């Protein structure tokens, strides 16, 4: 018997859609030890390339963990050949195992790498599986040896030098994703799913004699999912190598490549590849993503090589609200036929158009103009409002829906928060029932003495915000001389709206419907009326913006009696205006657990006060708006609760008062605008 050396070569071709020429594997008779009678040993010499380690230049090395399955006609079936000589990383190695010697002078030799006991003994029907779910392989070296296999076959004649070919029966595809120039550049890839019109993965049958594979079921195995790692950011090029069953396609039938981001955004590419051949490398590159989308938008006759993005449904992610948190750039939509998921009786009708109304940015910016507004392409279709958001956006945008007459039917707050943990990191107090948001509504920070932690200001009972302060002010109380100008944070209006902020006294000239007026005029600061309040007690009407609402109707705007989310609640889905006026203080010692910030100015750190409490939150002295003007910025901060005071019903309690270094209690006037700290439902 002869010891047989097998020079195993599996060369991968470079380039796109280029086939690799076959490379012969030379079988030569070495000198030295002979195997026992009836068996023979097989030495494998790798020249230039290996199955287990392949870099981009096709340089190779065997691994000591490698095994080979071998068959000979008339001899043993699926014999395991294990590593026995040489060193890790070598290009020449010896694999040993018992292979029964055939009687015939000429016989077929077949090999499959890697070894598996389950392969069986029928060399024309070896059951293999190409995985339909794989993890991201960033280079071909990550892929080879993990998710594919090689086949070898040759008729050998005793006493001769032998030659055979050891080849990959699969096609290698390099998928390149580069979203660095797109609105999704601040996203992270979760997965890429390939939906092909032919079988590319799953159960296959290998014919070792012909060195080919074919699907076990032509109707199955058409979907492959690649899961990406946590570092697969869209802002940098991401590679994913996969090995698939060679596909006989016509070059005109689309394959779907569905890209899913961790924030739920979805982009689908349509490509019609030509024939994908075995032992060949291919590259599909997906970049200039928005141009791929525009290509189809501009030419609907286009049948191949385009992309479409599915707008992320904000309503599906937690329900309807008057405020939606937007953590990433991309394409979004939300249903605008009613404000709440649970309140189907409160419907919005007559909406025919939508656009952004006004916006704020980071206060560290030197200027903020319409060109800086990160929300664009706002449109209305069916019951949905669609819009796009630039990447890494931080700030706030108000979107307004209008009717045919241009009147505002409803408006929503888009809270652009790339670091949503500042909001959702809760400050839990007084047991498990008091989860408070980590920052003010509309703020983009929760850092001490950061003006971006101030957020928006709200008149009690209204869903629409007004901008807060643009500087931390003074502990001796800073106030505006001109409304919405001197101390107000940077904001910009959509010039097409023709609107701006203004302030006025609520009176009969504004109509008989309070709610209709504030809905149509979300940028008008309405302060006390001097005439009357329906249901008013003790002449307290000067403290509210309402004119015709009864006291009970007014109290219901933020659910004072029910502590439930209402259609006028300004908080995001899953949160409400805090429902208890005593949330910030102990029942026996009010505010006993407050600590001033490090310098004792402009706010307080509110610490835990219960054995089950966690964390702490910063409450800045934001000031408030009175008759539209900012006042007491840096000197005081008043925070709304939804509940009314029991004895003086027309006054609402502010749940927290920070004033000149003091912490007091009392009731606020609904006509004034205070910040809101939302409570988790």
- What strand order describes the sheet that includes 202-207? 126-130, 202-207, 212-215
Q: Residue 468 to residues 52, 414, 675: CA-CA distances in angstroms?
A: 62, 16, 8
- Interval 409-434 mean pLDDT: 81
Kindly state the greatest CA–CA separation across the chain.
Answer: 117
pLDDT tens digits, residue range 263-295? 999 999 999 998 888 878 889 999 999 999 998
Mean pLDDT of 562-581: 89
In this predicted structure, the answer to whether residue 88 has a pLDDT above a threshold of 80 is no
pLDDT at 155: 82
* pLDDT at residue number 614: 58
| 408 beta partners | 402
Mean pLDDT, rounded, for 522-530: 84
For the stretch 225-271, pLDDT in tens is: 999 999 999 999 999 999 999 887 778 899 999 999 999 999 999 99
Min mean pLDDT across 446-455, 472-481, 498-507 is at 472-481
**CA–CA separation, 244 and 12 (whole Å):** 14
Look at strands 212-215 and 617-620 and give their pairing.
unpaired
Higher-pLDDT residue of 42, 511: 511
As a whole number of angstroms, the distance between CA 24 and CA 28 comes to 12
Do strands 133-135 and 223-227 pair parallel, antiparallel, or not at all (unpaired)?
Answer: parallel
Distance, in Å, from the CA atom of 557 to the CA atom of 1, rounded to the nearest integer, reads 95
Could you tell me whether strands 4-8 and 42-46 are parallel, antiparallel, or unpaired per DSSP bridges? parallel
Per-domain boundaries in the chain? 4-114+149-168, 172-310, 323-680
**What pLDDT sits at residue 93?**
63
Q: Which two tokens stand for residue 500?
A: 């701006």
**Residue 639: per-residue pLDDT:** 86
pLDDT in tens, 298-338: 888 888 889 999 999 999 877 999 999 999 999 999 999 99
Rounded percentage of the chain residues whose pLDDT exceeds 90: 45
- DSSP string computed for 357-380: EEEE--TTSS---GGG-SEEEEEE
pLDDT (tens digit per residue) in 168-180: 788 889 999 999 9
H/E element, 472: none
User: Residue 608: which pLDDT band, with cuts at 50, 70 and 90?
Assistant: low
**Position with higher pLDDT, 88 vs 213:** 213
Question: Long-range contacts made by residues 541-546, C-beta under 8 angstroms, separation at least 24?
Answer: 541/650, 543/650, 543/651, 543/669, 543/670, 543/671, 544/650, 544/669, 544/670, 544/671, 545/459, 545/462, 545/506, 545/514, 545/518, 545/670, 545/671, 546/461, 546/506, 546/514, 546/670
Contact 2, 29 (CB under 8 A): yes
Terminal CA-CA length for the chain: 81
Mean pLDDT of the chain: 80
How far apart (Å, rounded) are the C-alpha atoms in residues 126 and 119? 6
532-557 pLDDT per residue, tens: 544 444 444 557 888 788 888 888 99
How much is the pLDDT for 481? 92
Q: How confident is the model at residue 430 (pLDDT cuts 50, 70, 90)?
A: low
Asked if pLDDT for residue 405 goes beyond 90, the answer is yes
Q: Residue 67 has what pLDDT?
A: 83
Where does the pLDDT of residue 61 fall: very low under 50, low under 70, confident under 90, or very high at 90 and above? low
Give the pLDDT of residue 121.
Answer: 86
Q: Which fold has domain 172-310?
A: Immunoglobulin-like (2.60.40)
User: Which of 497, 494, 467 has its CA nearest to residue 483?
Assistant: 467
Least confident piece of the model among 82-86, 207-211, 313-317: 82-86
Q: Strand, helix or coil at 554?
A: helix
Give dist(CA 664, CA 655) in Å, integer: 10
The tens digit of pLDDT for each residue in 615-646 reads 677 888 899 999 999 998 988 888 888 887 66
């Amino acid at each position: 018997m002869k010891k047989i050396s097998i020079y195993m070569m599996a060369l991968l071709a470079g380039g796109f859609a280029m086939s690799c020429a076959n490379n012969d594997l030379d079988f030569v008779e070495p000198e030295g030890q002979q195997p026992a009678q009836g068996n023979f040993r097989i030495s494998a010499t790798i020249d230039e390339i290996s199955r287990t380690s392949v870099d981009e230049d096709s340089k190779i090395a065997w691994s000591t963990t490698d095994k080979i399955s071998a068959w000979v006609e008339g001899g043993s079936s699926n014999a395991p050949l294990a590593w026995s000589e040489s060193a890790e990383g070598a290009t020449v190695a010896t694999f040993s195992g018992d292979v029964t010697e055939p009687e015939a002078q000429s016989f077929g030799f077949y090999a499959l790498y890697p070894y598996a006991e389950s392969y069986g003994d029928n060399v024309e029907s070896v059951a293999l599986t190409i995985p339909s779910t794989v993890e991201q392989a960033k280079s071909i070296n990550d892929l080879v040896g993990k998710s594919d296999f090689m086949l070898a076959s040759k008729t050998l004649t005793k006493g001769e030098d032998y030659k055979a070919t050891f080849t990959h029966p699969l096609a290698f595809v390099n998928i390149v994703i580069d979203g660095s120039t797109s609105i999704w550049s601040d996203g992270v890839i979760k997965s890429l799913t390939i939906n092909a019109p032919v079988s590319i993965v799953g159960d296959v049958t290998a014919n070792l004699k012909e060195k080919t594979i074919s699907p076990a079921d032509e109707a199955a195995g058409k979907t492959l999912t690649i899961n990406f790692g946590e570092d697969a950011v869209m802002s940098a090029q991401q590679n994913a190598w996969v090995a698939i069953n060679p596909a006989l396609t016509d070059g005109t039938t689309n394959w779907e490549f569905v890209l899913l981001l961790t924030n739920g955004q979805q982009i689908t590419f349509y490509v019609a590849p030509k024939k994908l051949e075995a032992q060949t490398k291919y590259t599909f590159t997906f970049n200039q993503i928005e141009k791929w989308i525009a290509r189809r938008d501009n030419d609907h006759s286009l049948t191949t090589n385009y992309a479409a993005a599915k707008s992320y449904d904000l309503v599906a992610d937690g329900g309807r609200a008057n405020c939606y948190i937007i953590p990433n750039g991309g394409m979004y939509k939300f249903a605008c036929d009613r404000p709440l998921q649970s309140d189907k009786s409160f419907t919005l009708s007559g909406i025919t158009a939508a656009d952004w109304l006004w916006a704020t940015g980071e206060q560290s910016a030197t200027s903020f103009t319409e060109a800086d507004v990160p929300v664009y392409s706002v449109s209305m279709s069916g019951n949905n409002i669609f819009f796009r958001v630039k990447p890494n956006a931080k700030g706030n945008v108000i979107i307004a829906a209008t009717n045919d007459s241009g009147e505002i039917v409803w408006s929503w707050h888009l809270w652009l928060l790339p670091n949503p943990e500042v909001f959702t990191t809760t400050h839990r107090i007084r047991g498990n029932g008091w989860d408070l948001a980590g920052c003010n509504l509309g703020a983009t920070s929760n850092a001490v003495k950061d003006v971006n932690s101030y957020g928006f200001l709200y008149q009690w009972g209204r869903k629409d915000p007004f901008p807060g302060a643009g500087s931390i002010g003074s502990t001796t109380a800073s106030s505006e001389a001109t409304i919405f100008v001197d101390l107000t944070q940077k904001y910009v209006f959509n010039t097409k709206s023709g609107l701006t902020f203004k302030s006025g006294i609520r009176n009969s000239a504004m109509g008989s419907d309070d709610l209709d007026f504030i809905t149509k005029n979300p940028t008008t600061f309405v302060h006390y009326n001097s005439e009357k309040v329906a249901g008013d007690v003790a002449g307290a009407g000067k403290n509210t913006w309402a004119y015709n609402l009864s006291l009970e109707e007014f109290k219901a705007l933020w659910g004072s009696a029910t502590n439930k989310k209402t259609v006028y609640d300004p908080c995001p889905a899953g949160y409400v205006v805090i429902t208890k006026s005593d949330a910030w203080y102990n029942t026996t010692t009010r505010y006993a657990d407050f600590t001033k910030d490090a310098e004792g100015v402009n706010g307080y750190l509110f610490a835990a006060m219960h054995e089950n409490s966690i964390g702490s939150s910063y409450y800045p002295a934001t000031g408030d708006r009175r008759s539209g003007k900012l006042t007491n910025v840096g000197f005081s901060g008043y925070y709304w609760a939804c509940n009314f005071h029991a004895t003086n019903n027309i006054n609402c309690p502010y749940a927290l008062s920070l004033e000149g270094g003091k912490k007091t209690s009392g009731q606020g006037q609904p006509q004034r605008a205070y910040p809101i700290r939302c409570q988790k439902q």
